């Protein structure tokens, strides 16, 4: 009626005007007060009944209206825009959206070019039909972070089906991202079952790869053939073993001048489809399709291969396709020993180098190729294994340390003091509020991530959002300190600013919709959802943000934080729900209406803040609508880290002993007390062992009962005890650990690097001439390494001993000759040949060292002569030492 009156007041005839009523159906069905009433059918029936019976309204359709031949104005131009903010941001601009548009453009260009050469092809009509379908805007609505249907993968598949139909209709080759829909990975036999600790030396020792996933390589790839490969991990590294034609075997073959290349391709971590920007889909040399979006390639660097089998690997990062070829950029390399080959190829790759962290997944393919040059495509892939990608999901190995537990004021979900809930029943709670009232914040960190846990007064998931909660939007602004690129502008929709002294470098936003979870880096302005997980638990009433340190930074305890909470609105600016002067069905009240002159909202949409003490109302009320001033906010600083015990574990258990390890956040002396399981200790001093001051602690318990259950209380001053349980074995272990692959390498400065492997976790003792130079009394490692101090030139006999937790001891020795160029006169005090002091002693030491060298050479010659005679005199079946 108001519109009709406006026309009359303007001297117009209302019957000559058409009022278009266009309702977005799902909004009325699912997002209104009528959503729970037969999909809003009663509302629609009532709405159209009133229109049909209105005394001055005639219901019609646009075509019926045009048949009356009214006089209409001519529209000269139609502006670019949409019904969301008048922009196209929902359909374009994000990486995934841009990738989809790029692929659509590529399909259109291929089709146009094909039609120019084949204008009468019978498949053209079907191809164009599929192209027009793919050009529909709804496909792009669901791509990116800004919208989430809960079924985005289905929309993605359908879009790609239509793209594929364009190519298939005219028999064009499919691009790699359309050739293979997301498939199941290869099945390992056996599957990964535990952490592994292999020695990367190119030799597969007994039991060394137990716990790793094993994959067959059924395709014959001669002359560079892969037989099988293994993938495993520890708390910070990925280990890969490839059983393939070795470099020695390849050197004995005719390769026609080609160079071998062994590369591991890793998928973009956590990818779930082929919509990953700056990833590659083909192998470097043979250009075979990998069947996943590869982000990293780790290649064995044969140019760095040493006589002992150790080498370096090179890391290449994918940059996507430019022109006709995919781009790889050299982004790093390992130190010597990052890979090795003797009997097999072995790699150790830090998680961080290939973008991995706990709970992350990746897919892997191993490719053996022969290359004519280093140029892209100038080679031949001999084998790619396995046929379907291997998949690795890293376990949750995180040990969390609590940095902060902050109680927030309860009952302050009122913004500047008088904010009021929306009127819709969707916001009703049993206690009439609490949806945006944070009670407590906990901040924790692990080696990989920071975690923010908000405990809310009330929570529901009435809209069934994927992250497990519906009503809240939470934003975390991180002040990393004085930088040149800190920002004081809050993200769109918050309607406030950050104090200049608290400028943020990273801002993180999250809601119950996965597509609305992202971080912004102020230095670059880049936005990404990678490395952020947000989840809600309505039973515990918690919202948890887990943020990779690659996103937020490493120095979590020393940053400052501004954390704000508002009402999530799927269609609001920045996902924030508006606060106006008066509440309505879907907006809060108690704030202010937009400024009359510029139409901008200056009142904050922030309902609660995390603060230590008071100050929220004052800060949020500091805006001025008439003066066009936003409220200015500050946050809270982190306290000193409290003492905590973490990472406590029982490393090894035998029939009579156990090795326990743990860490503390603050350097301190700690203790443990043990007793029979579920029985209290006899007194405060019985069965108590202490550790020296430090942050890493270990003890070995001995003389335990066979087949007995114990519990252990781990204690440190200022924190609660941690309790561990274990059972001793009923089988008495009398077998010493095998001591394998003992090796000694002389470094350039005269130090000796000693390495060995034990078949079970064992202690370490290294001695020279009866003098112990290194000892680790805790049986916690299988892979052992120790680097001595520098020694003068000479021949040295090193003895290595390792004992398991039962005390079973094994030892081995190795002789090493130091011949360092230059003036190597280091009189190391543990040098067994250094027997006197002063200048004369130094000369004597040098003379004796020289004599020892000569004796060592004579002994070596004699040994070689005896070996030569034995080999020459041996017959078939004899032990020839070879």
| 149-158 per-position pLDDT tens digit | 767 778 888 9
Average pLDDT, stretch 448-453? 94
DSSP 78-132: --S--SSTTSSTTTSSSHHHHHHHHHHHHHHHHHHHHHHH-TT-TTHHHHHHHHH
- pLDDT level of residue 34 (50, 70, 90 thresholds): low
Q: Is residue 743 part of a domain?
A: yes
Give tens-digit pLDDT for 185-243.
Answer: 999 999 999 999 898 999 998 889 999 999 999 988 889 999 999 999 988 899 999 99
Whether pLDDT at 855 is above 50 = no
Whether pLDDT at 28 is above 70 = no
Average pLDDT, stretch 710-731? 93
CATH assignment at residue 453: 2.60.40.1190
* Helix axis angle, 124-134 to 152-169, nearest 10°: 160
Same-domain pairing of 341 and 440: no
- CA–CA separation, 487 and 139 (whole Å): 34
- pLDDT level of residue 881 (50, 70, 90 thresholds): very low
**Domain boundaries, position 664:** 645-727
Same-domain pairing of 39 and 165: no
Q: Is residue 879 part of a domain?
A: no
Residue 825 confidence (pLDDT): 55
Whether pLDDT at 876 is above 60 = no
Residue 863 confidence (pLDDT): 36
Q: Is residue 204 part of a domain?
A: no
Residue 513 confidence (pLDDT): 87
Residue 138 confidence (pLDDT): 86
Question: Could you tell me which residue, 248 or 837, shows the higher pLDDT?
Answer: 248
Q: Is residue 156 part of a domain?
A: yes
CATH assignment at residue 687: 2.60.40.10
The residue behind tokens 């229109």 is 51
Whether pLDDT at 871 is above 50 = no
Residue 822 confidence (pLDDT): 67
Of 341, 369, 393, which residue sits at a domain end? 393
Same-domain pairing of 163 and 261: no
Q: Tokens for 310? A: 């150790």
Same-domain pairing of 766 and 705: no
Average pLDDT, stretch 639-661? 90
Same-domain pairing of 407 and 555: yes
Question: Could you tell me which residue, 716 or 826, shows the higher pLDDT?
Answer: 716
- The set of residues, in sequence order, having a beta carbon less than 8 Å from that of 260 and lying 6+ positions away, is 224, 247, 250, 302, 368, 369, 370, 371
- Name which of 556, 723, 752 is nearest 650 in CA terms: 723
Of 12, 47, 66, which residue sits at a domain end? 66
Residue 19 confidence (pLDDT): 83
Residue 330 confidence (pLDDT): 92
Q: Is residue 693 part of a domain?
A: yes
Residue 178 confidence (pLDDT): 87
Of 699, 727, 755, which residue sits at a domain end? 727
φ, ψ of residue 284 in degrees (nearest 5) = -70, -45
Same-domain pairing of 382 and 259: yes
φ, ψ of residue 863 in degrees (nearest 5) = -60, -45
Average pLDDT, stretch 326-341? 91
Beta bridge partner(s), residue 384:
367
Q: Tokens for 831? A: 């040098």
Residue 39 confidence (pLDDT): 67
Give tens-digit pLDDT for 250-287.
Answer: 988 888 889 999 999 999 999 877 888 889 999 999 99
Cβ atoms of 772 and 788 within 8 Å: the answer is no
Q: Is residue 865 part of a domain?
A: no
How many folded domains does the chain comprise? 6
Contacts 24+ apart (CB under 8 A), 5-10: none
Same-domain pairing of 463 and 526: yes
Same-domain pairing of 220 and 277: yes
Q: Tokens for 582? A: 């008066």
Least confident of 47-56, 125-134, 593-602, 665-674: 47-56
Could you tell me whether strands 752-768 and 771-787 are parallel, antiparallel, or unpaired per DSSP bridges? antiparallel
Q: Is residue 275 part of a domain?
A: yes
Whether pLDDT at 559 is above 90 = yes
Torsion of CA 92, 96, 99, 100, to 10 degrees: -70
Average pLDDT, stretch 293-304? 96
Same-domain pairing of 715 and 577: no
Question: How crowded is residue 579: how many other Cβ atoms within 10 Å of its Cβ?
Answer: 27
Whether pLDDT at 48 is above 90 = no
Whether pLDDT at 500 is above 70 = yes
Same-domain pairing of 525 and 417: yes
Same-domain pairing of 625 and 683: no
Average pLDDT, stretch 453-465? 94
Q: What is the mean pLDDT of the chain?
A: 87
Average pLDDT, stretch 516-542? 92
Cβ atoms of 640 and 564 within 8 Å: the answer is no
Give tens-digit pLDDT for 103-124.
Answer: 999 999 999 999 999 999 999 9
Whether pLDDT at 181 is above 70 = no
Question: Could you tell me which residue, 458 or 866, shows the higher pLDDT?
Answer: 458
- Which percentage of the chain shows pLDDT scores above 70? 90
Residue 271 confidence (pLDDT): 87
Q: Is residue 881 part of a domain?
A: no
Average pLDDT, stretch 280-299? 94
Average pLDDT, stretch 345-364? 92
Question: Could you tell me which residue, 145 or 131, shows the higher pLDDT?
Answer: 131
Whether pLDDT at 86 is above 80 = no
SS3 561: strand
Beta bridge partner(s), residue 317:
296, 329
Same-domain pairing of 341 and 231: yes
């Amino acid at each position: 009626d108001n519109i009709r009156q406006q026309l009359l007041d303007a001297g117009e005839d209302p019957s000559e005007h058409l009022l278009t009523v266009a309702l977005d159906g799902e909004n009325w069905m699912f997002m209104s007060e009528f959503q729970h009433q037969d999909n809003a059918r009663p509302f629609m029936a009532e709405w159209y009944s009133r229109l049909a019976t209105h005394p001055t309204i005639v219901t019609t359709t646009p075509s019926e209206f045009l048949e009356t031949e009214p006089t209409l104005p001519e529209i000269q131009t139609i502006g670019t825009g949409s019904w969301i903010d008048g922009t196209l941001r929902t359909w374009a601009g994000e990486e995934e959206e841009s990738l989809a548009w790029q692929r659509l453009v590529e399909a259109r260009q291929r089709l146009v070019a094909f039609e120019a050469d084949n204008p009468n092809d019978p498949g053209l009509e079907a191809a164009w039909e599929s192209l027009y379908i793919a050009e529909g805007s709804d496909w792009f609505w669901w791509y990116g972070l800004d919208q989430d249907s809960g079924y985005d993968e289905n929309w993605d598949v359908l879009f790609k089906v239509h793209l594929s139909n364009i190519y298939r209709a005219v028999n064009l080759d499919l691009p790699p991202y359309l050739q293979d829909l997301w498939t199941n990975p290869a099945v390992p036999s056996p599957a990964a079952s535990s952490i592994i600790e292999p020695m990367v030396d190119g030799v597969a020792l007994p039991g060394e790869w137990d716990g790793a996933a094993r994959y067959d390589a059924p395709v014959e790839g001669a002359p560079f053939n892969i037989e099988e490969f293994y993938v495993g991990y520890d708390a910070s590294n990925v280990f890969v073993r490839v059983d393939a034609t070795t470099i020695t075997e390849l050197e004995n073959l005719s390769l026609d001048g080609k160079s071998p290349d062994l590369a591991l391709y890793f998928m973009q971590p956590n990818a779930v489809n082929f919509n990953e920007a700056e990833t590659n889909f083909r192998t470097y040399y043979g250009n075979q399709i990998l069947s996943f979006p590869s982000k990293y390639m780790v290649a064995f660097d044969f140019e760095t291969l040493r006589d002992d089998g150790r080498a370096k690997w090179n890391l290449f990062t994918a940059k996507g396709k430019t022109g006709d070829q995919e781009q790889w950029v050299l982004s790093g390399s390992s130190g010597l020993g990052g890979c090795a080959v003797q009997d097999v190829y072995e790699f150790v790759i830090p998680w961080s180098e290939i973008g991995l962290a706990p709970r992350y997944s990746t897919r892997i393919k191993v490719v053996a190729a022969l290359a004519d040059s280093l140029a892209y495509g100038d080679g031949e892939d001999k084998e790619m294994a396995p046929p379907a990608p291997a998949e690795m999901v890293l376990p949750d190995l995180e040990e969390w340390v609590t940095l902060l537990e902050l109680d927030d004021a309860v009952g302050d979900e009122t913004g500047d003091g008088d904010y009021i809930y929306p009127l819709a029943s969707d916001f009703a709670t049993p206690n009439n509020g609490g949806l945006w009232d944070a009670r407590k914040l906990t901040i924790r960190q692990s080696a990989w991530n920071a975690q923010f846990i908000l405990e809310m007064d009330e929570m529901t998931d009435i809209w069934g959002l994927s992250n497990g909660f519906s009503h809240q939007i939470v934003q975390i602004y991180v002040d990393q300190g004085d930088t040149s690129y800190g920002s004081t502008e809050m993200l769109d929709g918050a309607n406030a600013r950050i104090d200049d002294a608290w400028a943020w470098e990273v801002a993180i936003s999250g809601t119950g919709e996965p597509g609305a979870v992202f971080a912004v880096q102020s230095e670059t302005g880049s936005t990404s959802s990678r490395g952020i997980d947000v989840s809600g638990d309505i039973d515990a009433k918690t919202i948890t943000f887990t943020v990779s340190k690659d996103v937020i930074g490493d120095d979590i305890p020393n940053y400052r934080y501004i954390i704000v909470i508002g009402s999530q609105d799927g269609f609001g600016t920045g996902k924030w729900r508006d606060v106006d002067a008066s509440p309505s069905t879907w907006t809060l009240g108690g704030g202010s209406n937009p400024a009359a002159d510029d139409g901008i909202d200056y009142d904050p949409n922030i309902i609660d803040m995390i603060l230590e003490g008071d100050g929220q109302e004052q800060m949020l009320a500091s805006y001025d609508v008439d003066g066009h001033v936003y409220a200015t906010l500050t946050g809270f600083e982190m306290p000193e880290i409290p003492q905590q015990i973490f990472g406590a574990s029982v490393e090894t258990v035998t029939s009579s002993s156990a090795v326990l390890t743990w860490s503390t956040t603050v350097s301190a002396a700690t203790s443990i007390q043990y007793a029979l399981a579920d029985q209290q200790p006899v007194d405060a001093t019985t069965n108590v062992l202490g550790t020296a001051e430090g942050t890493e602690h270990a003890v070995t318990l001995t003389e335990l009962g066979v087949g007995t259950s114990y519990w252990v209380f781990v204690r440190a001053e200022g924190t609660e005890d941690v309790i561990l349980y274990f059972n001793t074995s009923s089988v008495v272990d009398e077998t010493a650990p095998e001591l394998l692959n003992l090796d000694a390498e002389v470094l350039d400065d005269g130090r000796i690097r000693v390495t060995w492997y034990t078949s079970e976790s064992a202690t370490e003792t290294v001695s020279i001439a009866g003098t112990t130079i290194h000892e680790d009394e805790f049986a916690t490692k299988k892979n052992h390494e120790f680097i001595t101090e520098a020694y003068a030139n000479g021949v040295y006999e090193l003895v290595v001993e390792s004992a398991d937790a039962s005390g079973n001891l094994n030892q081995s020795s190795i002789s090493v000759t130091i011949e360092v160029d230059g003036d190597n006169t280091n009189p190391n005090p543990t040098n067994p040949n250094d027997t006197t002091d002063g200048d004369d002693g130094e000369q004597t030491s040098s003379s004796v060292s020289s004599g020892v060298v000569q004796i060592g050479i004579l002994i070596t010659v004699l040994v070689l002569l005896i070996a030569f005679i034995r080999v020459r005199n041996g017959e078939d079946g004899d032990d020839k030492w070879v």
